[in-house]
Amino acid sequence: MTPHMAGKQSLTSDVLALDEAAEIERIAAWMRDVVPSSLRRRGVVVAMSGGIDSSCCAALAVRAFGPSRVFGLLLPERDSSAPSTALGRELVAHLGIAHAEINLTTALDALGAYRDRDAAMARAIPGYGEGWRSKIVLTGSLEGGINHFRLVAHSPDGAAHDVRLGTREYLEIVAATNHKQRLRKAMEYHYADRLHYAVIGTPNRLEYDQGFFVKNGDGAADLKPIAHLYKTQVYALARAMGLPESLCTTTPTTDTYSLAQGQDEFYFALPYAQMDLALWSHENSRSAADLAAGLHRTETQAQAIYTDIEAKRRVAQYLHATALTLR
Amino acid sequence: MSSSKALVRQFLSDHFLLDAEAQRYADSDSFMARHLLDSMGFMELVAFLEEQFGIQVEDGEIVPANLDSLDAIDAFVTRKRSA
């Protein structure tokens, strides 16, 4: 499909179809070109979370350079889910690449990441502390409201709490948990320095476009090989490269908070397959009515999705921006 | 201009470092359409309204019809305070 033909198609996942083999080769050829020529490095480091994006990037890197020039990092911490780490190990073995596994809990503890986060959460939910599990949930815009964040927590005795977060608490929780992404990136560059390798960033198109990353954390990298691909397409490439089925069937999570948290709960208004279609539809200037029909939602909801996409893009401008300088 | 509008206008001006151009908005102008407030800005606005006017803003009340202009806020605050 070519973009100028897009307007003639009805809005289904078919609009995201691509020639997987050709795209894999195109990305691999690009990496083989830019890593030695533009970046002047001789291999790549990729941190693997056990999610589909980093798995796909690691596999693409192996396609580009072979396993001997790809170094994998597994960087779990206290709140990482055990299945995610296991999937990362499975992929390292599948790809046959050298790797290191470093648990970041002690370092994050020393930085006060857990302490500061829990202190802010305890202000929102008195009594919050050791043994509780929690996550942040985004709500509002699809119901015609204004986006706001809620703290959902389970106490050790199993009681559920759900409160609206004030700005100060929200910012302090996010600042504390952002230590995780920034420390991971510090480790990636540490190994890149040791090996004279480049660092791969693993955002997909949804994350890159909508600003779902931490500035100078997972947003930092030397090359981002799948930032042009919708999440649906990342899954398609992963399957085409023969990645383990366990990886290709995982539900995307943030793997940042101690309660299981879908990416659609934290940042995107919709599950990824629908979000892909919404972003594609917006990119291809489809009407809200077209999107509504494609997603089986009302036109008002579809318009709210477009408004949300545009609002997040404005926020993402800061995240993408490099330091300003005077001329 | 009613006192709630003046107080909110002053809050927005002080709190969000609005420049002279950004401060030229009418009482009926949509904060969203003019990109004056993002979702975090609205949450700060809600906290300000609760503290300043002694009201409790319920989750279901965080909607554009109540908060997206000085006119809307003035009507909302008046309604809440008389309830």
Return the minimum-mean-pLDDT range out of A77-81, A231-235, B16-20, B34-38.
B16-20
Residue A37 has pLDDT above 80, yes or no: yes
Residue B63 in contact with partner chain A when CB distance is under 8 A: yes
| The residue type at A189 | Y
A149, A171, A314: residue with CB nearest B35: A314
Determine the residue of chain A that is closest to B65 in CA distance: A145
Mutation for testing the B interface, residue in A139, A142, A146, A300 having most B CBs under 10 Å: A146
What distance in Å separates residue B2's CA from the closest CA in chain A? 25
Q: At what angle do helices A20-37 and A52-65 cross, to 10 degrees?
A: 70
For B3-82, CATH number out of 1.10.1200.10, 3.30.70.270, 3.40.50.2000, 1.10.580.10 equals 1.10.1200.10
What local confidence, expressed as pLDDT, does residue A6 receive? 46
Contact between B62 and A145 using a beta-carbon 8 Å cutoff:
yes
Segment holding A199, helix H or strand E: strand A198-199
Residue A216 in contact with partner chain B when CB distance is under 8 A: no
Cα distance between residue B77 and residue B55, in whole Å: 8
Cα distance between residue A90 and residue A202, in whole Å: 18
A148, A166, A315: residue with CB nearest B62: A148
Contact between A311 and B62 using a beta-carbon 8 Å cutoff:
no
- Chain centre to alpha carbon of residue B33: 14
Rounded mean pLDDT, B11-37: 87
Mutation for testing the A interface, residue in B59, B69, B73 having most A CBs under 10 Å: B59
Cα distance between residue A142 and residue A308, in whole Å: 9
Q: Six-digit token pair at A29?
A: 């050829």
Contact between A146 and B64 using a beta-carbon 8 Å cutoff:
yes
What distance in Å separates residue B69's CA from the closest CA in chain A? 13
- Host domain of residue A283: 15-111+171-320
Number of domains comprising chain A: 1
User: Whole-model pTM above 0.95?
Assistant: no
What local confidence, expressed as pLDDT, does residue A7 receive? 46
**Residue ranges of the domains in chain B?**
3-82
What distance in Å separates residue A146's CA from the closest CA in chain B? 5
Three-class SS of residue A327? coil
Residue A294 has pLDDT above 70, yes or no: yes
What local confidence, expressed as pLDDT, does residue A184 receive? 98
pLDDT per residue as tens digits for the range A201-212: 999 999 999 999
Q: What is the ipTM of this complex?
A: 0.86
Residue A144 covered by a domain: no
Residue A120 covered by a domain: no
What distance in Å separates residue A287's CA from the closest CA in chain B? 19
E-assigned strand segments in A22-172: 44-47, 70-74, 98-101, 133-139, 148-154, 160-164
Confidence of residue A145 (pLDDT cuts 50, 70, 90): confident
pLDDT per residue as tens digits for the range A131-144: 899 888 888 766 77
Sign of CA dihedral A87, A91, A94, A100: negative
Rounded mean pLDDT, B25-41: 90
| The residue type at A274 | Q
What distance in Å separates residue B47's CA from the closest CA in chain A? 7
Sequence-separated (6 or more) residues with CB below 8 Å from residue A180: A77, A104, A108, A113, A217, A256
Q: Which residues of A touch B68 (CB under 8 A)?
A: 146
Size of interface A-B (CB pairs under 8 A): 43
Locus of tokens 């407030």:
B37
Mutation for testing the A interface, residue in B11, B31, B36, B39 having most A CBs under 10 Å: B39
Residue A248 covered by a domain: yes
Locus of tokens 């545009």:
A310
- A130 against A253, higher pLDDT: A130
- Chain centre to alpha carbon of residue B78: 13
CB-based contact A265:A162 (threshold 8 Å): no
What CATH number does the domain containing A190 carry? 3.40.50.620
